[in-house]
Amino acid sequence: MLMEKFAKPAVGAIIEKKIDGEKFILVQERRKENGGKENGMLEIPAGKIREYENIFEALRREVKEETGLIITRIDGEESSTQSNVNGNQVISFQPYCVTQNLSGAYSLILNTFICEADGVLAESTDETQNIRWEKADLIRDILKANPESFFLMHVNALKKYFELL
């Protein structure tokens, strides 16, 4: 009998910051064990949601693990609803963008949110390096000219963010 395989739920953060009236976005370079050709690609903080983990807590955890930052605002969190249904806690939420990988190495469904965060950036982590605030205009220009330099799961959300779709 064939074993069914399922897409894994994940969460990602487009983290914004204004410095002297100019918008910056947090980016990092991918560095995973056995990451292959995707290592070195630009990405936003993201990761898988643990079983029964609240999606917003998962986002806070992943951002902290990958960047050292503490999320201070997640767009959409305030309008999420939680209910107790027959003894089960359920949550409904509206992410900024949902991306599903339909082929290739990762069968993921990524819920991307727009956020703000505070704290001191880590220099690198077990999964990332060169974590930095980059001018939003520069990220948009790189995305337009060379979308393949970004990790595939972040391209559509970033294109939506920069109105390039």
* H helix intervals, the chain: 55-67, 136-145, 152-161
pLDDT single digits (tens) 38-76: 888 999 999 999 999 999 999 999 999 999 999 999 999
Q: Which residue has the higher pLDDT, 24 or 124?
A: 24
- The whole-angstrom separation of Cα 46 and Cα 66 is 8
pLDDT single digits (tens) 139-155: 999 999 999 999 999 99
Cβ(89)–Cβ(80) below 8 Å: no
- The whole-angstrom separation of Cα 32 and Cα 67 is 14
- The whole-angstrom separation of Cα 148 and Cα 37 is 11
22-30 and 42-43 strand pairing: antiparallel
Give the closest residue to 17 by CA, choosing from 135, 123, 149, 140. 135
pTM to 2 decimal places? 0.94
